[in-house]
Amino acid sequence: MDLRKLAYLESFLSPRRLDRFRDILSRRTRHITVALEDVYQMHNASAVIRSCDVFGIQDAHLIEARFGRRLDKKIAMGAQKWVDVARYDTTASCIETLRRQGYRIIATSPRGGNLSPGELPLDKPVALFFGTEKEGLSGEVLDRADAAVRIPMVGFTESLNISVAAAIMLHELSNRLRSSGVAWQLSDAEILEKRFEWAFKTVQSAAEIMARYQETD
């Protein structure tokens, strides 16, 4: 990251905005991520992205093999600007990408999960996979998962809406993570990268401003 370039772009932001960016980035993590497999209802995928932002999860992964793009900017309420969303055509490519990045693949299942969110080990990065509303996760995810997690339920209903389930798990796991001894924060380099990206998305006419900077540098 060119620190002079970053400082120049950030000079167009208010001190209050800069402090807000720094505060939020100090709480962001990539130690937990979310993968949605062929979620049908657009509002569900969008609500999960919003929950990622709320609970400080920097990345989300959307597998869109069956139903196409499932993100509604109005429902996400701008969260897609601050959460990095990766898209995949196949479940296999998503799993392989996350494994290369060092994630344990965690299936979420209301019936088959053998761990609760409070029991899931967080010593290594985890990728929580959520399936389509009616059918749940595919056999491919269930077969290749390193572990399965479920939300304990004590009523007659045996399942939750996917966006509700994701919010509950992210709340529980992010709180556990931040109170643990695990190094969960973004690296200094990642924070600088995000500061530039977020400033670029926020400053009006940022492309023209940076083009002028390049000319005078």
- pLDDT on residue 71: 54
Q: How far apart are CA 176 and CA 101, in angstroms?
A: 22
- State both tokens at 187: 């690296």
Query: In terms of pTM, does the model score above 0.75?
Result: yes
Query: Is residue 29's pLDDT more than 60?
Result: yes
Domains and CATH numbers, the chain: 1-26+189-217 (no CATH), 30-184 (3.40.1280.10)
3-state secondary structure of 160: coil
List pLDDT tens digits, range 142-153.
999 999 999 888
Nearest to 72 by CA among 36, 38, 48: 48
Average the pLDDT over each of 65-79, 90-104, 185-199 and give the range with the smallest value: 65-79
Spatial separation of the C-alpha atoms in residues 9 and 210, rounded to whole Å: 7
**What are the pLDDT digits (tens) for 133-180?**
677 899 999 999 999 999 888 887 777 888 899 999 999 999 999 999
- pLDDT score of 209 more than 90: yes
**Is there a contact between 3 and 29 (Cβ–Cβ < 8 Å)?**
no
When pLDDT is cut at 50, 70 and 90, the band that residue 1 belongs to is: confident
